[in-house]
Amino acid sequence: MKIIYPAYGSKTKTTRTVGRSFQALVLMLGITVAMFGGIGSRLAYLQLVEGTRNRQLADNNRIRLIPKQPERGSIFDRKGRILATSRLSHSVYIWPMAPKKPEWDSTKQRLAQILQMPAAEIQQRMDKAGVNSPSLIRMARDINPAQITALAEYKNQLKDVEVYIEPIRSYPNGQIAAHILGYTGEMNDNTLAEKRQEGYRLGDVIGQMGVEAAFEKQLRGEWGGQQVEVDGKGRVLRYLGEKKARSGQNVHLTIDLELQKAAEKTLGDRQGAIVALDPRTGGVLAMVSRPTFDPNVFSKRITPAVWRSLQKKDHPFVNRALRGFPPASTFKIITATAGLESGKFSPKTRLQTYGCMNIGGTRFCDWNLAGFGVLDFPGALAWSSDTFFYQIGRGIGGPTLIEWTRKFGFGRKTGIELAPEEAKGLVADDKWKRANYDLPWKVGDTVNMSIGQGFLQVSPLQVAVMFAVPASGGYRIKPHLLRDNEEAKKWRESLNIKPSTVQTVRQGLRQVVASGTGRALSSPTIPPAAGKSGTAETYKQKSHTWFGGYAPYNKPEIVVVAFAEHSGGGGGKICAPMVLKVMEAYFHGQKAKGEVGSR
């Protein structure tokens, strides 16, 4: 059987070939539908699913932000005097499309010459931001008048370079309170990766240490700026709107600027620290560390030469008021308290002191190698007898002494807002010694600890907190920098020390000044004071020296601790005069206001 197809003339098909041409048409139609379906699906996906993102990319190509940096909140002392503020300065920005232009190499070289920065650094910043950056890219802050003039003279060669006036951090007192305030600077790549979710961007300035870092959220503010539409060459076509920058919040500290200046002058160029605080509230009145730095240098680009000059000092960015050192005989305050609270010794205890004692097979000597005869607790504190406190430590045992050491706050951070910079110190025990030396705790370790030597490490701030315990009548205070006018009871915790213990320790600390090793603090220029000296032995170097005190003795208003690193000498000779000068500055200021305490 044959079927004739007129359209094909003589072509014939058998029953086996019938319909095959229709199959081809159907196949072609299916392929076409599939192709258009895929394209349609892709278009639908790009528009409906990825539409927002793609519109954002498109906007980024034509919309730019001329940034307006917020004014950072100011920092004030307890009396409203400025510690840190902002001033207006000139900053240099580059349009992100600049590297795509033929003249980019000449622009980069000219700008590097004017800003005195490597051309490679300019290129690196541009590459990091990318040509699709939604905002201009900052190259330099706080440029000088000569650079401003040069940028104006070469304006025709620097068409993609903009100069804007914006606030920059300023510390009007220079180095004063540098370790408290810290400094600000542009974020590095690692910090930016951590902070991007919080709204930070490339080139943002952030608090790098001190109060600037601790109160970053309050001080920061919020960026603003003008949104502009640009063409493919980066030229501004029109302004789209403006968002006002929101200034950061001001922060008021417990610091007293005049007392801080006095403490800075008193410590001078000596390596060490001074801490002054209110034993009633824990408010830090002054905190000094040497060597130091000027935080203003970080308000602009740090050149390699400037950085090298800073590094010539012995760790100027380390706040020694928050780092650990052996407390020496200042620690006898805790040994006396632990002994009296243990029940094994009473306020009437009297012990024979010796030039040297053999304890656990080791010879332990008094600092004068002769002893002081028979002493009670106040007398032992007054003369800082080592052999008296060896006997107290041995009598109560290591666990009891360690327990009271931790009650006073040693071995942990104090709670001050500068936590990232604060060391916990070290209160060693049997577990620690076995882990680090593979040896058990022995009686010799307890004896060493009883006079503030051995493994013990505490900071000048922790020592100030220790002195505040007898000064406040048995409370451990929490030192703080933020002045919030809260009641003192919210900043302190009772250690449940017996009144008789407090009285005995306070009597001893008073005798230190009246007739003992701290007579340098006995002066008619301040109310009657109490205190304790300390001299810490160090390996193959000069000793550290300490003195801590408070006044007035019967109603304390201020605790001052001075620490001199590797000074040699004794604490009563080196550090007590420093404590006196700071107290004189404090009480002179109080007298001027008619607020001097009872004498």
DSSP 550-589: EESSSS--EEEEEEETT--S-HHHHTHHHHHHHHHHHHHH
Q: Is residue 56 part of a domain?
A: no
Beta strands in 179-317 (DSSP E): 184-186, 205-207, 224-230, 236-243, 251-252, 272-277, 284-290
Answer yes or no: do 460 and 359 share one domain. yes
Q: Is residue 309 part of a domain?
A: no
Domain that holds residue 151: 63-252
Q: Is residue 403 part of a domain?
A: yes
Answer yes or no: do 246 and 285 share one domain. no
Question: What CA–CA distance (Å, rounded) separates 517 from 519?
Answer: 6
Summarize pLDDT for 281-333 with one digit per residue, the tens: 999 999 999 999 999 999 887 777 777 777 777 899 999 999 999 999 999 99
The encoded tokens of residue 337 equal 């308290």
- pLDDT in 10s for each residue of the chain, 599 residues: 333 444 444 444 454 455 555 565 656 666 665 565 556 565 555 566 555 544 544 455 577 767 777 899 999 999 999 999 999 999 999 988 899 999 999 999 999 999 999 999 999 999 988 888 878 888 998 999 999 999 999 999 998 999 989 899 999 999 999 999 999 988 877 887 888 888 787 778 899 999 999 999 999 988 787 777 877 666 667 767 777 888 999 999 999 999 999 999 999 999 999 999 999 999 999 999 999 999 999 988 777 777 777 777 789 999 999 999 999 999 999 999 999 999 999 999 999 999 999 999 999 999 999 999 999 999 999 999 999 999 999 999 999 999 999 999 999 999 999 999 999 999 999 999 999 999 999 999 999 999 999 999 999 999 999 999 999 999 999 999 999 766 666 789 999 999 999 999 999 999 999 999 999 999 999 999 999 999 998 888 999 999 999 999 999 999 999 999 999 999 999 999 999 999 999 999 876 666 555 43
Answer yes or no: do 286 and 152 share one domain. no
| pTM for the structure as a whole | 0.84
- Residue 430's alpha-carbon distances to 143, 186, 362, 427, 434, in angstroms, are 58, 46, 19, 10, 6
Answer yes or no: do 422 and 530 share one domain. yes
Q: Is residue 364 part of a domain?
A: yes
Helix ranges (DSSP H) in 116-174 = 119-129, 145-153
Q: Which residues, in sequence order, are CB contacts of 28 under 8 Å at separation 6+?
A: none
Question: What CA–CA distance (Å, rounded) separates 333 from 547?
Answer: 12
The encoded tokens of residue 191 equal 């910090």
Answer yes or no: do 128 and 202 share one domain. yes
201 CB-contact burial (10 Å; exposed 0-12 / middle 13-18 / buried 19+): middle
Summarize pLDDT for 552-598 with one digit per residue, the tens: 999 999 999 999 999 999 999 999 999 999 999 999 987 666 655 54
Contact 142, 163 (CB under 8 A): no
Q: Is residue 113 part of a domain?
A: yes
Q: Is residue 578 part of a domain?
A: yes
Overall domain count for the chain: 3
Report the pLDDT value the prediction gives residue 227, as an integer from 0 to 100: 77
Categorise residue 194: left if φ over 0, alpha if ψ from -120 to 50, beta otherwise: alpha
Answer yes or no: do 336 and 206 share one domain. no
Question: What CA–CA distance (Å, rounded) separates 271 from 460?
Answer: 13
Question: Which residue(s) pair with 544 in the sheet?
Answer: 536
| The pairing of beta strand 492-494 with beta strand 475-477 | antiparallel
Answer yes or no: do 226 and 280 share one domain. no
Report the pLDDT value the prediction gives residue 33, as an integer from 0 to 100: 56
Q: Is residue 321 part of a domain?
A: yes
Report the pLDDT value the prediction gives residue 594, as an integer from 0 to 100: 62
Answer yes or no: do 127 and 189 share one domain. yes
Amino acid (1-letter code) at residue 542: K
Answer yes or no: do 428 and 577 share one domain. yes
Answer yes or no: do 339 and 376 share one domain. yes
| CATH number of the domain encompassing residue 121 | 3.90.1310.10
Contact 228, 240 (CB under 8 A): yes
Report the pLDDT value the prediction gives residue 402, as an integer from 0 to 100: 98
Q: Is residue 15 part of a domain?
A: yes
Answer yes or no: do 463 and 349 share one domain. yes
Residue 3 phi, psi (nearest 5) = -115, 130
Answer yes or no: do 83 and 135 share one domain. yes
Report the pLDDT value the prediction gives residue 50, as an integer from 0 to 100: 54
